[in-house]
Amino acid sequence: MISGMVVSGYGGFYQVRRDDCGAVVDCKPRGRLKQSYSKIYPGDRVEISLLPAGDGMIEAIGPRHTRLSRPQLVNFDQLIIVLAWKLPEYDLLLLDRVLVLALEARVRPVICFNKLDLLEEGEAPLFQDIRAVYQAAGFSVLGVSAKDPASIEALKEQLGGGISVLAGPSGAGKSTLLNQLLGEGSAETGVVSDRLRRGRHTTRYARILPLGADAAFGFIADTPGFFALELPQSVTDRDLPGYYPDFQLDEPCRFDGCLHLSEPDCRVKQAVAKGRVDPERYRRYQRLQEEIKTREVVYW
Ligand code: GDP
Ligand code: ZN
């Protein structure tokens, strides 16, 4: 039996990348797995057996540690949140929302400001401030430009293995960065991107591609079309504070389960007043609490 990872699914086959040599084998699931045929996703760890014709049979599927339904993808490790400095201008409310999404899905978020070539001299302190707020909260923040190869290398090194996914608003530069990360111009990726283009319209599945020779930097998922960027339905008003590492203070609020909204003796609000917690991020937190409230359906 050979171990591998499902990297895509099309043509009635799943493409499985062998761990031992990196070759990709077209596979069908063994009969008893077929009942759950639709339940095999890119990112799945599988055991395969090779058939004489050169294709393979999926014999077993391993456990999953993360799962997304839009796009369908499992077992990814990092969510690279791509925001453009301009054109279109970054939206920090969207960023905070996607950070909740990432933490809820138990993946490491990497905040990536793209198009920094458009950053004008006077704007540098603003970028530094934003970066400092999120770094203080414990997040990785990178500034890159698709026009600056050194910054793309730095991004690659940040990823350091596992499966990464790019998410962010349309126009932020995700496809451009994906191409740069994969290394445009290399004959091999030329073939891959051709297959990608054809596949794009025929599948809702993500496709996983190796980063660097022998996947030295891990893998990156090319996700077809739209990425759901809203707050997961499962996140309630009580859960939300838990997704703010910067709100976890040494001294607890007076009330257990404090929502940090209008409760008395709220340490978070005190920290906001003292500037220890960024007031803008706190305001966006209030907005997300509003979103949850207006979305919440109450069943009696
Ligand atoms: P996507 O919708 O997120 O996949 O965004 P695209 O990759 O299609 O990029 C949208 C536009 O932004 C394209 O015209 C790109 O050429 C441009 N773009 C991407 N990255 C950069 C960058 O770092 N700097 C500048 N100036 N333009 C960029
Ligand atoms: Zn509180």
CB < 8 Å & 24+ apart, contacts of 181-185: 181/152, 181/155, 181/156, 181/211, 181/220, 182/209, 182/211, 182/220, 183/212
Q: Lowest mean pLDDT: which of 215-229, 255-269, 279-293?
A: 215-229
Task: Please report the pLDDT score of residue 8 as a whole number.
Answer: 92
Task: Give residue 300's pLDDT.
Answer: 59
Ligand 2 mean position, distance from CA 94 (Å): 23
Ligand 1 atom 9, closest CA: 173
Which residues is 4 bridged to in the sheet? Answer: 18, 46
> Mean pLDDT, the chain, as a whole number?
89
Residue 178: Cβ-neighbour burial (10 angstroms; 0-12, 13-18, 19+): buried
For the entire predicted model, the pTM comes to 0.90
Hey, how many other C-beta atoms are within 10 angstroms of the C-beta on 70?
13
Q: What pLDDT does 86 receive?
A: 97
% pLDDT > 90, the chain: 73
At 264, the amino acid letter reads P
Give mean pLDDT, residues 205-221: 90
The residue nearest atom 22 of ligand 1, judged by CA position, is 115
Of 283, 285, 258, whose CA–CA distance to 97 is shortest? 285
Is residue 19 very low, low, confident or very high in pLDDT (cuts 50, 70, 90)? very high
Ligand 2 ion: Cβ-proximal residues, 5 Å cutoff: 253, 258, 260, 266, 268
What per-residue confidence (pLDDT) applies to 213? 87
Which ranges of 186-226 does DSSP label H, i.e. alpha helix?
187-200
Tens digit of each residue's pLDDT (9 = 90 or more) over 185-204: 443 433 444 444 444 444 45
Report the distance separating Cα 98 and Cα 75, nearest Å: 18
Per the omega criterion (within 30 degrees of 0), is the bond before 88 cis? yes
Spell out which residues line ligand 1, taking CB within 6 angstroms.
114-115, 117-118, 145-147, 170-176
Report the candidate in 164, 205, 213, 170 with the shortest Cα–Cα distance to residue 189: 213
Please confirm whether the linkage preceding 52 is cis (ω < 30° from 0): no
- Tens digit of each residue's pLDDT (9 = 90 or more) over 278-299: 999 999 999 999 999 988 666 6
| Digit-coded pLDDT (tens) for 133-167 | 999 999 999 999 999 999 999 999 988 789 999 99
Residue 106 Cα to ligand 1 midpoint, Å, equals 28
Higher pLDDT, 62 or 226: 62
pLDDT (0 to 100) of residue 83: 97
Residue-wise pLDDT tens digits, 94-120: 999 999 999 998 999 999 999 999 999
| Ligand 1 geometric centre to CA of 295 (Å) | 33
pLDDT digits (tens, 9 = 90+) for 161-172: 899 999 999 999
Residue 219 predicted with pLDDT over 90: yes
Burial 22-58 (b: 16+ CB within 10 A, else e): eeebbbbbeeebeeeeeebbbbbbbbbeeeeeeebbb
Q: Is the pLDDT reported for residue 184 higher than 90?
A: no
Helices (H) and strands (E) in the chain, counts: 8, 13
CA pair distance 284, 215, nearest whole angstrom: 38
pLDDT of residue 110: 96
The residue contributing the CA closest to ligand 1 atom 15 is 173
User: Given the DSSP bridges, would you call strands 13-18 and 207-210 parallel, antiparallel or unpaired?
Assistant: unpaired
How far, in Å, is the centroid of ligand 1 from the Cα of 10?
Answer: 28
CB neighbour burial string for 249-285, b if at least 16 within 10 angstroms, e if fewer: eeeebeeeebbbeeeeebbbbebbeeeebbeebbebb
Lowest mean pLDDT among 58-67, 101-110, 177-186: 177-186
**Bridging pattern class, strands 2-10 and 219-222:** unpaired
Model pLDDT, residue 22: 95
Q: Which of 91, 176, 181, 229 for a ligand 1 pocket mutation test, highest count of atoms within 8 Å of Cβ?
A: 176
pLDDT (mean) for 116-132? 97
Residues 6+ apart with CB under 8 A from 211: 156, 159, 164, 181, 182, 217, 218, 219, 220
Q: What are the residues whose beta carbons fall under 8 Å from the beta carbon of 42, sequence distance 6 or more? A: 6, 7, 8, 9, 72, 73, 74, 205, 206, 207, 208, 221
CA distance 203 to 160: 28
- What value does the mean pLDDT take over residues 83-95? 96
